[in-house]
Amino acid sequence: MSGNTFGRLFRVTSCGESHGAGIGVILDGVPPGLSLDPSEIDAALARRRPGQSDLVSPRSEADRCEIFSGVESGVTLGTPIGVLVRNKDARPESYDEIKNVYRPSHADFTYERKYGRTAASGGGRASARETIARVVGGVVAEKILSRAGRIEIVAAVERVGTIETKISPDDPRLTRESVDAHPVRCPVAEIADKMGDLIRDTRRQGDSLGGIILAVARNVPAGWGDPVFDKIDATLAHALFSLPAVKGVEIGSGFGGVALRGSEHNDVFENREGRIQTRTNRSGGIQGGITNGENIVVRIAFKPTSTIALEQDTVTRQGEPARLKGRGRHDPCVLPRAVPIVEAMIAIVLADHYLRQRAITF
């Protein structure tokens, strides 16, 4: 297992370099009988694609998928689903200038140390382009989850650089529609505007920004997750930390919860109209690594994009001091485009645990 497969029963295997021919995905363990149309994947890809607003990379890739196996007459067969999304606007030549220097905080140096070589163009697998496979997987994961009830997974930008807002994961107005209403993907319009301004300003300065995404999964049944190493928070953290630029993950109360006493932090149970629920949700929907039926709440910290236009110190492959000035067509802030990818990874994790739970429930 060399890192390009995720999941135990619902399995996403991907391949593809940033500036190669395309991104390939094989989805295994998909139950038969689910409707699936390429246009659904294309619609999901449109939410992550560059060029969708003036806030993100201008690389213009109207990604279209080809489903070449596992689906017939619009319905899954139970056999593995193969998907290919071709790269259309790859420009490896624009990477010539970085061929001989290591980009700071990028993967050039570490890939070279790992493999003894580097993809001539761009960052190889350490590239946002690779996340296409996750979005493809997310679409099918949501199809699987549709069998488990009306699970909703929504992510939103809560912070960009120093501008932040608090979003309640329980607010029913937090929906994919309300999030997508603004290109920043922050559902609080006036804050979103400020974030947008900040992103444009920062790009103009040749610099980049990080931020925080909040995600919630609603209506997940209680009982999903596997003790002890595959607690659902552990597999969610694995999935989310596998995304480029992630430096932190919190479930429920997260780092803020450490200041509370147990008596303050504990989520006491109560019976609401015949259903046992918790009064508060500092657990973020997970207790002992298993879902408790409350909203699953996650926060993810993204570092500022490594590739910036400002000139930076670095060294050449030979270790000589050098100066590097990025060009390329990179996002000044990855968060707006990361929202659907975060949703996809959560869906993939949940779908896998759903199938696992089915196997042992008699």
Spatial distance between the Cα atoms of 3 and 125, rounded to a whole number of angstroms: 11
Nearer to a copy of itself, 176 or 244 (CB): 244
* The dihedral sign for the CA sequence 196, 343, 135, 237: positive
- Bridging pattern class, strands 275-278 and 269-272: antiparallel
**Among positions 33, 58, 74, 149, the unique one binding a copy of itself when judged by CB under 8 A:** 33
**For residues 211-270, which are near a copy of itself according to CB under 8 A?**
211-212, 221-231, 233-242, 244, 246-255, 257-270
CB contact at 8 A, 347 and 341: no
Nearer to a copy of itself, 112 or 175 (CB): 112
CB contact at 8 A, 260 and 318: no
Which tokens hold the place of 219? 């209506």
- Bridging pattern class, strands 152-160 and 163-164: antiparallel
The size of the interface with a copy of itself (CB under 8 A), counted in residues, is 158
**For residues 291-320, which are near a copy of itself according to CB under 8 A?**
291-293, 301-308, 310, 312-315, 319-320
**For residues 126-145, which are near a copy of itself according to CB under 8 A?**
126, 130
Nearer to a copy of itself, 172 or 361 (CB): 361
Does 276 sit near a copy of itself (CB under 8 A)? yes
**For residues 63-102, which are near a copy of itself according to CB under 8 A?**
66, 68-70, 72-73, 75, 77-82, 84, 102
CB contact at 8 A, 248 and 237: no
End-to-end Cα separation, the chain, in angstroms: 31
Does 189 sit near a copy of itself (CB under 8 A)? no
The minimum distance between CB 177 and a copy of itself, in angstroms, equals 26
CB contact at 8 A, 58 and 50: yes
Nearer to a copy of itself, 152 or 250 (CB): 250
The minimum distance between CB 68 and a copy of itself, in angstroms, equals 4
Q: Which residues contact 200 (CB under 8 A, 6 or more apart)?
A: 54, 55
CB contact at 8 A, 18 and 123: yes
The minimum distance between CB 232 and a copy of itself, in angstroms, equals 9
Nearer to a copy of itself, 149 or 177 (CB): 149
The minimum distance between CB 234 and a copy of itself, in angstroms, equals 4
Backbone phi, psi, residue 73, to 5° = 50, 40
From 35-43, 181-189, 271-279, 336-344, span contacting a copy of itself (CB under 8 A): 271-279
Which tokens hold the place of 313? 């110190």
CA 313 to centroid of chain Cα atoms:
30
CB contact at 8 A, 68 and 83: yes
Backbone phi, psi, residue 228, to 5° = -110, -25
Nearer to a copy of itself, 191 or 286 (CB): 286
Spatial distance between the Cα atoms of 199 and 196, rounded to a whole number of angstroms: 5
The minimum distance between CB 7 and a copy of itself, in angstroms, equals 9
Nearer to a copy of itself, 176 or 188 (CB): 188
Nearer to a copy of itself, 190 or 313 (CB): 313
Nearer to a copy of itself, 52 or 266 (CB): 266
Spatial distance between the Cα atoms of 344 and 37, rounded to a whole number of angstroms: 17
Does 341 sit near a copy of itself (CB under 8 A)? no
The minimum distance between CB 334 and a copy of itself, in angstroms, equals 11
**For residues 319-338, which are near a copy of itself according to CB under 8 A?**
319-321
The minimum distance between CB 172 and a copy of itself, in angstroms, equals 24
